[in-house]
Amino acid sequence: MTEVVVPAVRQETILVVGGAGYIGSHMVKMLLDQGFRVVTLDNLATGHRQSVLGGDFVQGDVGDPLLLERLFTGYAFAGVMHFASHIQVGESVTDPAKYYRNNVSNTFVLLDAMRKYVVRHFIFSSSAAVYGEPLVVPITESHPKNPINPYGRSKWIIEEVLADYDLAYGLRSVCFRYFNAAGADPGGAIGECHTPETHLIPLVLMAASGRLPQVKLFGEDYDTPDGTCIRDYVHVNDLCQAHLLALERLLQGGGSAAYNLGNGGGFSVREVMAAAERVTGRKIPVVVAPRRAGDPARLVADASLAHRELGWRPQFSELEQIIRHAWQWEQKLAGVISEFGNKVR
């Protein structure tokens, strides 16, 4: 007989903004599994309704003050998690207004609603992009913040705003600087599905499944052992686990903080490709291309602060395990492409 684990029912309702997106949808699932009540707000510009596995769903824009007014009067939120942002570094350079409008201005609308309705706990998805070109690796939270593109700046602006809001309004926040989010729900229910996809692991796996003819390798003349860029890949469920720990801490009266989230180990693009070949048992067609603008050679997190202060212990820190979960999802996606319509490519 299999043991059925019934989560404790929590009284708290959490608003997850961007809960239909990649990381947000995994967060919604984890909160529900923990017994929280969850409300997802997502405009479905890039998210997928079918990725939201439960709770209440509201389709709409986080920058719509009237909608937020209705939401905040309709629910007594104990906390807000904000995942909704544009994430393409290159696009942020060519269309910065899009990034500042959504990632910055719209966040102000959300923060205004939180102030008005006295919701004091906020968890914000920031990025390693706030550091810019690293001066030293691994990167600690005190590393200078020199974002080199509007995407990174949009995240750093909100982090600075949140520090001011803490002092002035008592709004307690935790900012998480994600390194390279990857992987998928271990049970295979949800996973990553961006359009266009720009991230290495899903692209490599799309080439493995045949959805792409090949994957480009952007530059093999970096100052790294095999000449390709090194990144710190962290499992999406481990990211969500950190959010859960931060939420509990905020709900218990903890103060504001910012944490790196990564595994502290770096893998080169070539190493990722080799690991993907082992996991999938398939040869992955690769073409070497010139460097992509704005890619630092190495980005590796020192996440010891999150370990110490939050008790964060990544469960899926092995690269092959991360890729295995992503592969399980890619195979499902390749099979149900029609369900996601033309949003997949």
Binding site for ligand UFG (CB under 6 A): 87, 89, 127-129, 151, 180, 198-200, 203, 215-218, 229, 231, 269, 292, 295, 299
Place of tokens 């909100």: 158
Q: Closer to ligand UFG at the Cβ: 91 or 248? A: 91
* Nearer to ligand UFG among residue 92 and residue 250 (C-beta): 92
In the complex, the smallest distance separating the C-beta of residue 110 from ligand UFG, rounded to whole angstroms, is 20
Q: How far is the CB of 70 from ligand UFG (least distance, A)?
A: 31
Query: CB neighbours of 217 closer than 8 A, spacing ≥ 6?
Result: 228, 269, 270, 273, 286, 287, 288, 289
Residue 127 CB, shortest distance to ligand UFG, in Å, is 5
Q: Which is nearer to ligand UFG, 292 or 345 (CB)?
A: 292
Percent of the chain as helix, strand, coil, to the nearest 5: 40, 20, 40
Whole-angstrom distance, CA of residue 98 vs CA of residue 102: 6
Does the bond joining 138 to the residue before it have cis omega, within 30 degrees of 0? yes
Minimum distance from residue 343 beta carbon to ligand UFG (Å): 19
Report residue 24 as tokens: 């947000």
| 274 three-class SS | helix
Rg of the chain over Cα atoms, rounded to whole angstroms, equals: 19
Residue nearest ligand UFG, CB atom distance: 229
**Sequential DSSP letters for 115-141:** HHTT--EEEEEEEGGGS-S-SSSSBPT
Residue 233 falls in the annotated catalytic set: no
User: In this structure, what is the dihedral angle of CA atoms 315, 47, 127, 13, given to the nearest 10 degrees?
Assistant: -70
For residue 314, the minimal CB distance to ligand UFG (Å) is 17
Pick the closer one to ligand UFG by CB: 216 or 343: 216
The least distance separating ligand UFG from the CB of residue 112, rounded to whole angstroms, comes to: 26
CB closer to ligand UFG out of 14 and 215:
215
Angle between helices 65-74 and 106-116 (to 10 degrees): 30
> Per-residue DSSP letters for 173-203?
EEEEEE-EEE---TTSS-----SS---HHHH
Which of these is catalytic: 151, 165, 178, 233?
A: 151
User: What whole-number distance in Å separates Cα of residue 292 and Cα of residue 219?
Assistant: 7
Distance of alpha carbon 281 from alpha carbon 269, whole angstroms: 18
CA distances from 300 to 163, 220, 233, 293, 306 (A): 25, 18, 9, 19, 15
**Between 114 and 269, CB nearer to ligand UFG:** 269
For ligand UFG, the closer of residues 34 and 198 by Cβ is 198
Give least dist CB 215 to ligand UFG, A. 5
The residues near 227 (Cβ < 8 Å, ≥ 6 apart) are 219, 220, 221, 270
> Token digits for 191?
């996973």
Pick from 47, 319, 286: which is nearest to 180 by CA?
319
Which of the residues are catalytic? 151
